[in-house]
Amino acid sequence: MKLATTVLGALSLFGYVHAHAVVYGIWVNGQDQGDGQGKYIRSPPSNDPVKDLSSPAIACNVNGNPVSEFAKAAAGDEIMVEWYHNSRGDDIIASSHKGPIQAFIAPYTDGNGASATWTKIASQGYDSSRDKWAVDDLIANGGKLPFNLPSNLAPGKYLLRHEIIGLHEADATYDVNPIRGAQFYPSCIQLEVTGGGSESPGQNFGFNQGYSYSDPGIHFNLYQCPNEGPEGGFSYGCFGEYTAPGPEVWGA
């Protein structure tokens, strides 16, 4: 176990320095909507993660200020949020940063997104049948994973929040050890939705209130199987019970 611990520490350090991610833009029904950074995306100043669950940045990242444009999509459309590391089409995010990817939506606000107005509309975690995490699929698909806007979504202006959670250091929590902890990569997209839907999502979820360091989807040992002893090591094929944090997917 000493060797495994040493290797884990080295991988975590390498990942922390080299492997962060940021959003370039979105695709709607397979069509590239172009570079949205600072246009329809409330882009953060860097690709660094957020780890402090008490910070308003956990909602829309460090820069939660409104931007001038809106991407457009219809209710029911397929959306892909395109991530990259340093340049479009690169290695996206380090493969060590395994974890879930989720999408939330909230009524549009000029605020920083920290209010409890969010509803979860998509979530992909761990697939035990393939031994793959959502981040594995994101990397394999060139930084994009598809999900659909709810077909019953009422037209209007929204914030679409896409989130990667890196669990590679989540065996400890940020409040106990600020050097470690789950790494959150939230990005908020200004989106105008059209179509014939009539329902407004109403989970009223807030990340400062709803995410906690005790949540098993946030405090999670990626390198040791549940119910396994201290010599669990680097087995990945046992996380079928992993549940990503936050509410259930709306309408699921």
Token output for 171 = 């065996």
pLDDT tens digits, one per residue of 62-94:
988 999 999 999 999 999 999 999 999 999 999
- Rounded CA-CA distance 96/15 in Å is 7
Range 2-210 has CATH code 2.70.50.70: yes
**Greater pLDDT, 92 or 226:** 92
Annotate 207-223 with b (16+ C-beta within 10 A) or e (fewer): bbebbebebebbbbebb
Predicted confidence (pLDDT) at residue 248 exceeds the cutoff of 60: yes
φ, ψ (nearest 5 deg) of residue 80: -130, 125
Q: How many CA atoms lie within 13 A of 91 on its CB side?
A: 9
Cα–Cα distances (Å) from 40 to 60, 64, 96, 226, 233, in that order, read 13, 12, 30, 41, 43
Residues in the chain: 252
Question: Percent of the chain scored above 90 by pLDDT?
Answer: 81
Would you say the C-alpha torsion 187, 20, 102, 73 has a positive or negative sign?
A: positive
Predicted confidence (pLDDT) at residue 6 exceeds the cutoff of 50: no
Token output for 197 = 């839907």
Q: What is the mean pLDDT of residues 122-131?
A: 93
pLDDT of residue 155: 98
Residues with Cβ within 8 Å of 215's Cβ and at least 6 positions away in sequence, in order, are 245
Choose the most confident range, by mean pLDDT, from 9-13, 126-130, 202-206.
Answer: 202-206
Domain edges within the chain: 2-210
Answering whether pTM is above 0.85, one says: yes
- Rounded CA-CA distance 81/178 in Å is 29
Token output for 47 = 């690709």
> Is residue 117 a contact partner of residue 44, using CB atoms and an 8 Å limit?
no
Categorize the per-residue pLDDT at 196 as very low, low, confident or very high, splitting at 50, 70 and 90: confident
pLDDT of residue 239: 61
- Rounded CA-CA distance 81/162 in Å is 7
Predicted confidence (pLDDT) at residue 10 exceeds the cutoff of 60: no
**Greater pLDDT, 26 or 129:** 26
- Rounded CA-CA distance 19/5 in Å is 20
Q: What is the mean pLDDT of the chain?
A: 89
pLDDT of residue 16: 40
Block residue for tokens 């079928």: 240
Report which DSSP code applies to 72. E
pLDDT of residue 2: 35
